[in-house]
Amino acid sequence: MKVCIAQLNYHLGNFESNFSKIKNAIIHAKEQKADLIVFSELAICGYYPIDLLEKKTFVENCDKYLKKIIDLSNNIGIIIGLPTINPSERGKKLFNSAAFIFNGELKKLVHKTLLPTYDIFDEYRHFEPNNVFELIEFNGEKIAITICEDIWDEQKVYGDFGKKTIYNNNPFDILAKLNPDFVINISASPFSYNQVNNRRNVLLDKSIKYSLPILYVNQVGANTDLIFDGGSLAVNSKRQIVLECKYFEEDIQIIDTSLFNSYLEVSGNRNRIEDIYSALTLGIKDYFAKSGFSKAVLGLSGGIDSAVTLAIAVDALGHENVMSILMPAKYSSDHSINDSIEMLKRTSSPYQIVNIENIRLELLNTLNEVFIGTKEDITEENIQARIRGTILMAFSNKFGNILLNTSNKSEFAVGYSTLYGDMNGALSILGDVYKTDVYKLANFINEKHNNIIPQNIINKAPSAELRPNQKDEDSLPPYEILDKILFSYIEKKLSKEEILGFDEETVNYVIKLVNNSEFKRFQAAPILRISSKAFGQGRKFPIVAKY
């Protein structure tokens, strides 16, 4: 049987556009004489709609477009994901379903069994879990249909609570006992830099454990903060990859199931920094394309974060579409402007210089009477950041350029960023990238893009330049140490007692900074997610609490 894997980029709630892509893929599959075409999880509406699922018209649209897809199913089997109404009087109102369609008929709806509720996932908010397990029969073969998490029954629990798995049942195990010829899994599995290998291993382990080939169909593209990387796979029953789709782009491939015995040489580990770069580029591209915007603006400071953001944005949107605003003030060093201009020459992207010194002086002058008798402190530093934020937003308002936030994960973590100042932005590009990884990204970008970032920007000591001779490391541990402590605390969820190998006082200080800045992160822009634990919807901590 020839199966077409349709790895597409869906737009949440844009039924017409999604349908048009689905239709084209079906036409292509028919031309290629495919027997079956498989789309990803919730393909008809896009993943994840969150509370759009509470709108009746949204769910009705899913059904309406399902019918249009059924109309295209003459002589081809179609498997596609969508939410469907739970007909029972009890339970959550929807199922997360896969429709199996053939010759103008909806042959079967298969529902998702394992509903993830950790990190960014919240599927039990809307979906009832499945508890009926049957195979479908098609073209003389028996197929087990599973949906995303259904093959992740061994999903580990983070933290040392002694659990083997968070799930009480194992749909793969139940289905395998029904003796299918192969398994299909339709997914919407978001990227994180460790997920690619995880995912391959989960599929390979399952295939050998049950002696079953698996066809895994993922989606690609970004929806606000979540980036889907594609990389759909076919694995045979001998722990071998037979086919792998492209990463970070749409891909339609056809596999003949009689070839399940062959295999493909797949290079081992992927390049982590290259994957992050691709993910961030796709994240920007899709945020703009799916929102109907084309032009960005950012504040270019002469530091590495804004330089890396600029480089990625130029790749994503085109050099002519990324406006840089340079905003020197009293404490800005000359090299900040010179290095920025040198980079802008290399990117050939437009810029404006807006000196904020007069505004700063006028603000201080106006506040003079109110601040009488006080000393200069962080207030005056924040004022500079907020003037810059105001100018960037004024540019954004006036010309319709969308503001990109340039803060990195280390800063967000310890709260070294100014709320309503440099935290401004519609989308944070580096907010899930630790500073030490920002350097690695800079070097990768320079290798890939002909040294677009001046070496001086990479070499200089990090500074916010908000007071004379300020350096980040005056008040923070060196980033090599800081980032390791942060990773232990945030990604690995270790307590301060468990974070070993560092000065105890330093660990306590860093953790205190993280806990004390929940209120800032609560108001942060959406952050492109590239790690297993990004700030944002996947990490929920109370603001008013004793930590």
Q: Which residues between 216 and 235 bind a copy of itself (CB under 8 A)? A: 222-224
Smallest gap from Cβ 10 to a copy of itself, in A, equals 11
By beta-carbon proximity to a copy of itself, the closer residue of 11 and 435 is 11
Smallest gap from Cβ 497 to a copy of itself, in A, equals 7
Contacts with 187 (C-beta within 8 Å, 6 or more apart), sequence order: 40, 41, 147, 148, 216, 217, 218, 219
For the CA atoms of 200, 204, 206, 209, the dihedral, rounded to the nearest 10 degrees, stands at -160
Smallest gap from Cβ 374 to a copy of itself, in A, equals 6
Out of 4, 40, 42, 48, name the contact with a copy of itself by CB under 8 A: 48
The Cα 261–Cα 443 span in angstroms is 41
Cβ atoms 438, 308 nearer than 8 A: yes
By beta-carbon proximity to a copy of itself, the closer residue of 226 and 482 is 226
Establish if 475 lies at the interface with a copy of itself (CB under 8 A). no
Establish if 332 lies at the interface with a copy of itself (CB under 8 A). no
The Cα 532–Cα 191 span in angstroms is 9
Backbone angles phi, psi at 158, to 5 degrees: -75, 150
By beta-carbon proximity to a copy of itself, the closer residue of 262 and 291 is 291
Out of 31, 67, 132, 161, name the contact with a copy of itself by CB under 8 A: 161
> Comparing C-alpha atoms, which of 83, 86, 48 is closest to residue 66?
83
Q: Which residues between 399 and 438 bind a copy of itself (CB under 8 A)? A: 419-420, 424, 426
Establish if 96 lies at the interface with a copy of itself (CB under 8 A). no
> Which residues on neighbouring strands pair with residue 98, listed in sequence order?
81, 110
Smallest gap from Cβ 411 to a copy of itself, in A, equals 17
- Total residues binding a copy of itself (CB under 8 A): 102
Where in the sequence numbering do the catalytic residues fall?
A: 41, 112, 148
Out of 20, 118, 174, 320, name the contact with a copy of itself by CB under 8 A: 118
Establish if 81 lies at the interface with a copy of itself (CB under 8 A). no
Angle between helix 435-448 and 272-291 (nearest 10): 90
> Comparing C-alpha atoms, which of 226, 249, 200, 264 is closest to residue 7?
249
Q: Which residues between 263 and 302 bind a copy of itself (CB under 8 A)? A: 286-287, 290-291
Q: Which residues between 369 and 398 bind a copy of itself (CB under 8 A)? A: 370-371, 374, 377-379, 382-383, 386-387, 389-391, 393-395, 397-398
Establish if 120 lies at the interface with a copy of itself (CB under 8 A). no
The two structure tokens encoding residue 13: 């709630």
Residue 245 Cα distances to 6, 148, 200, angstroms: 9, 17, 12
The Cα 494–Cα 469 span in angstroms is 35
Out of 233, 525, 528, 534, name the contact with a copy of itself by CB under 8 A: 525
DSSP letters, 218-246, are --EEEETTEEEEB--EEE-TTS-EEEEPP
By beta-carbon proximity to a copy of itself, the closer residue of 137 and 491 is 491
Burial class of 270 by CB neighbour count within 10 A (0 to 12, 13 to 18, 19+) = middle
Out of 31, 67, 140, 164, name the contact with a copy of itself by CB under 8 A: 164
C-alpha of 367 from chain center:
42
By beta-carbon proximity to a copy of itself, the closer residue of 255 and 322 is 322
Q: Which amino acid is at 240?
A: Q
Length of the chain: 547
By beta-carbon proximity to a copy of itself, the closer residue of 276 and 402 is 402
The Cα 232–Cα 214 span in angstroms is 11
Piece in contact with a copy of itself (CB under 8 A), picked from 34-42, 185-193, 328-336, 491-499: 491-499
The Cα 318–Cα 315 span in angstroms is 6
Backbone angles phi, psi at 14, to 5 degrees: -95, 75
Smallest gap from Cβ 130 to a copy of itself, in A, equals 13
Smallest gap from Cβ 309 to a copy of itself, in A, equals 18
Whether residue 48 is preceded by a cis peptide bond, meaning omega within 30 degrees of 0, is yes
Out of 158, 263, 439, 502, name the contact with a copy of itself by CB under 8 A: 158
By beta-carbon proximity to a copy of itself, the closer residue of 27 and 361 is 361
The Cα 198–Cα 192 span in angstroms is 10
Q: Which residues between 138 and 157 bind a copy of itself (CB under 8 A)? A: 157
Out of 162, 268, 468, 501, name the contact with a copy of itself by CB under 8 A: 162
Out of 1, 30, 86, 330, name the contact with a copy of itself by CB under 8 A: 86
Establish if 174 lies at the interface with a copy of itself (CB under 8 A). no
8-state DSSP, 524: P
Tracing tokens 């703009």 back to the chain, one arrives at: 288
Smallest gap from Cβ 473 to a copy of itself, in A, equals 23
Out of 109, 166, 241, 259, name the contact with a copy of itself by CB under 8 A: 166
Q: Which amino acid is at 83?
A: P
Out of 85, 241, 254, 513, name the contact with a copy of itself by CB under 8 A: 85
Burial class of 10 by CB neighbour count within 10 A (0 to 12, 13 to 18, 19+) = buried
Smallest gap from Cβ 419 to a copy of itself, in A, equals 7
> Comparing C-alpha atoms, which of 310, 317, 311 is closest to residue 288?
317
Smallest gap from Cβ 336 to a copy of itself, in A, equals 18
Out of 1, 2, 14, 246, name the contact with a copy of itself by CB under 8 A: 14
Establish if 132 lies at the interface with a copy of itself (CB under 8 A). no
